[in-house]
Amino acid sequence: MVIEYNNNGELTMGGTSLKTVAQSFGTPTIVYDETQIRTQMRRFHEAFKKSGLNYNISYASKAFTCLQMVKLVQEEGLELDVVSEGELYTTLEAGFDPQHIHFHGNNKTKHEIQYALESKVGYIVIDSLEEIDLIDRYASDVVNVVIRLNPGVEAHTHEFIQTGQEDSKFGLSIKHGLAIEGVRKVKNSKRLNLKGVHFHVGSQIEGTEAMIETARLVIQWLKENDIEVELINLGGGFSIKYVEGDVSFPIEDGIAEITEAIISIAKETGFPIPEIGIEPGRSIVGEAGITLYEVGTIKTIPNVNKYVSIDGGMSDHIRTSLYDAQYEALLVNRNDQADETVTIAGKLCESGDIIIKDAKLPSTVKRGDYLAILSTGAYHYSMASNYNQMQKPSVFFLKDGKAREVIKRQSLRQLIINDTK
Ligand code: LLP
């Protein structure tokens, strides 16, 4: 994606002036480069095509979803992961083919299971032994299931949002025998068809090592236990660049490494390679999104710090306070040199409401200026809240110099719509 200043000194995204967007539609607002989202999806497709393996790519809708996003996923030929009744509802309302929906979750409610079955989703990802009985009870027809394995693999670094380690609420542990028990239970059921297995080792993972190590372990386990599957789903978790020094997962080389490793592990073990699935979220939308804010109060505490406050905060940007995540900010309406280190703060009522602790900004920044926070396309809108009765921001897709509204800003009325009088 190209983010650069034009001749008028205005920051642009894919050629569109972000100052114009902010002035026309208000702030806070999240803007996506639509072409960039499509490019990421196509890169995964191309990389897998080169491997010669049967594959499917599904977008993890938890990263960012809305009707127009789902339509885009459908247009680009990806499948879709959902983890709740709400995500399933959104996907179906957008007209997405239910056969290409996968239903995840470590505690699917009885109602969710019934909804997934009625909607005839492509498969349900089993995350507990109990769930097998529940699905069996409610299914009236044969239903495809995929067992989520807990491989007991740690993605090595504390920054990762780990999910594959032994002590985890997710999946059925291979090491502790839950996975094999799950397979037996599914096979004993008349209505459940074991389509495949799934694992997901974590999020924002830069290399391919954890995924390859896990694939090896899983293939060996399948082989040892004589389990035939049509699908191995490797999960998501491919990294993106938030700040200088971060590495965007190199899709072409990375997928080549993973698929070549799978081919050679399968050869070594004499295991027929089934369809290979992945489910990226962050790497599809993360870098394609930017949040635009307007600067309000600027407070300088002599010899201590300078706080530049913006008109949003942890209600639309929770990742800094929640994960100590790092971001970069750019001044939108002038191309001045970033010659100062400041703290960009939100407007919500707690000290932890920080967007960037040590942001490099021009010292000329003043009230009424616009700031762009980069790489906010994943887990920002989807994790937004109404804390302090803040309204959720609007969202636009930018393409060919035009801004298309895909989510309207939440209205004040919507904040009290469910309140009783
Ligand atoms: N598949 C499964 C089973 C997952 O649990 C996740 C993410 C994904 C795929 C997609 O992972 P991705 O490619 O987006 O990394 N709120 C956190 C991230 C939580 C990820 C949860 N699961 C954040 O803002 O960093």
Give me the pLDDT at residue 163, please. Answer: 64
Tell which of 226, 256, 282 closes a domain: 282
Residue 203 in contact with ligand 1 by CB distance below 6 A:
yes
Tell which of 282, 297, 312 closes a domain: 282
Contacts of residue 281, Cβ cutoff 8 Å, sequence gap at least 6? 59, 60, 61, 62, 63, 64, 81, 236, 378, 379
Name the pLDDT band for 156 (thresholds 50, 70, 90): low
Does any domain span residue 233?
yes
Q: Output the CA 379–ligand 1 centroid distance in Å.
A: 9
State which residues form the domain around 85: 52-282
Can you tell me the mean pLDDT for 273-294? Answer: 98
Strands 29-33 and 394-399, by their bridges, are parallel
Give me the pLDDT at residue 155, please. Answer: 63
Say what percent of the chain tops pLDDT 70.
Answer: 97
pLDDT digits (tens, 9 = 90+) for 222-268: 999 999 999 999 999 999 999 999 999 999 999 999 999 999 999 99
Residue 235 in contact with ligand 1 by CB distance below 6 A:
yes
Task: Name the strand (E) or helix (H) holding 198.
Answer: strand 192-198
Residue nearest atom 20 in ligand 1 by C-alpha distance: 203
Residue 143 has pLDDT above 90, yes or no: yes
Nearest ligand 1 atom, CA 235: 1
Residue 236 in contact with ligand 1 by CB distance below 6 A:
yes
Tell me the pLDDT of the chain averaged across its residues: 96
Specify whether 66 is catalytic. no
Residue 104 in contact with ligand 1 by CB distance below 6 A:
yes
Q: Output the CA 174–ligand 1 centroid distance in Å.
A: 21
Residue 125 in contact with ligand 1 by CB distance below 6 A:
no
Is the domain of 401 the same as that of 295?
A: yes
Is the domain of 227 the same as that of 292?
A: no
Q: Which CATH number covers residue 348?
A: 2.40.37.10
Q: CA Rg, the chain, in Å?
A: 23
Q: Output the CA 201–ligand 1 centroid distance in Å.
A: 10
Say what percent of the chain tops pLDDT 90.
Answer: 95
Q: Output the CA 237–ligand 1 centroid distance in Å.
A: 6
Q: Which CATH number covers residue 73?
A: 3.20.20.10
Nearest ligand 1 atom, CA 286: 14
Distance of alpha carbon 32 from alpha carbon 361, whole angstroms: 23
Name the pLDDT band for 164 (thresholds 50, 70, 90): low
Distance of alpha carbon 236 from alpha carbon 254, whole angstroms: 13
Nearest ligand 1 atom, CA 198: 3
Does any domain span residue 38?
no
Is the domain of 66 the same as that of 148?
A: yes
Does any domain span residue 332?
yes
pTM: 0.97
Give me the pLDDT at residue 241, please. Answer: 97
Q: Output the CA 281–ligand 1 centroid distance in Å.
A: 6
Residue nearest atom 5 in ligand 1 by C-alpha distance: 200
Is the domain of 66 the same as that of 205?
A: yes
- 3-state SS, the chain, equals CCEEECCCCCEEECCEEHHHHHHHHCCCEEEEEHHHHHHHHHHHHHHHHHHCCCEEEEEEHHHCCCHHHHHHHHHCCCEEEECCHHHHHHHHHCCCCHHHEEECCCCCCHHHHHHHHHCCCCEEEECCHHHHHHHHHHCCCCEEEEEEEECCCCCCCCCCEECCCCCCCCCEECCCCHHHHHHHHHHHCCCEEEEEEECCCEECECCCHHHHHHHHHHHHHHHHCCCCCCEEECCCCECCCCCCCCCCCCHHHHHHHHHHHHHHHHHHHCCCCCEEEECCCHHHHCCCEEEEEEEEEEEEECCCEEEEEECCCCCCCCHHHHHCCCCCEEECCCCCCCCEEEEEECCCCCCCCEEEEEEEECCCCCCCCEEEECCCCCCCHHHCCCHHHCCCCEEEEEECCEEEEEECCCCHHHHHCCCCC
Residue 279 in contact with ligand 1 by CB distance below 6 A:
yes
Residue nearest atom 21 in ligand 1 by C-alpha distance: 203
Beta bridge partners of 64: none
pLDDT digits (tens, 9 = 90+) for 340-386: 999 999 999 999 999 999 999 999 999 999 999 999 999 999 999 99
Give me the pLDDT at residue 168, please. Answer: 87
Number of domain units in the chain: 2
Q: Which residue has the tokens 């900004």?
A: 361
Name the pLDDT band for 158 (thresholds 50, 70, 90): very low
Residue 160 in contact with ligand 1 by CB distance below 6 A:
no
Q: Which of 200, 203, 240, 285 to mutate to test the pocket of ligand 1 (most atoms within 8 A of CB)?
A: 203
Distance of alpha carbon 269 from alpha carbon 218, whole angstroms: 11
Is the domain of 57 the same as that of 29?
A: no
Does any domain span residue 125?
yes
Residue 379 in contact with ligand 1 by CB distance below 6 A:
yes
Burial 119-153 (b: 16+ CB within 10 A, else e): bebbbbbbbbeebbebbbeebeeebbbbbbbbbbb
Residue nearest atom 24 in ligand 1 by C-alpha distance: 379
pLDDT digits (tens, 9 = 90+) for 92-109: 999 999 999 999 999 999
Give me the pLDDT at residue 162, please. Answer: 56
Residue 59 in contact with ligand 1 by CB distance below 6 A:
no
Name the pLDDT band for 159 (thresholds 50, 70, 90): very low
Is the domain of 224 the same as that of 364?
A: no
Give me the pLDDT at residue 166, please. Answer: 78
Give me the pLDDT at residue 321, please. Answer: 96
Q: Output the CA 188–ligand 1 centroid distance in Å.
A: 32
Give me the pLDDT at residue 390, please. Answer: 98
Residue 238 in contact with ligand 1 by CB distance below 6 A:
yes
Encoded tokens for 66: 């809305």
List the catalytic residue out of 2, 142, 322, 349.
349
Is the domain of 213 the same as that of 316?
A: no
Can you tell me the mean pLDDT for 54-74? Answer: 98
Give me the pLDDT at residue 2, please. Answer: 87
Give me the pLDDT at residue 157, please. Answer: 47
Tell which of 282, 298, 313 closes a domain: 282
Task: Name the strand (E) or helix (H) holding 154.
Answer: none
Is the domain of 237 the same as that of 99?
A: yes
Checking phi first, is residue 210 left (phi over 0); if not, alpha (psi -120 to 50) or beta? alpha
Does any domain span residue 357?
yes
Is the domain of 243 the same as that of 122?
A: yes
Is the domain of 242 the same as that of 375?
A: no
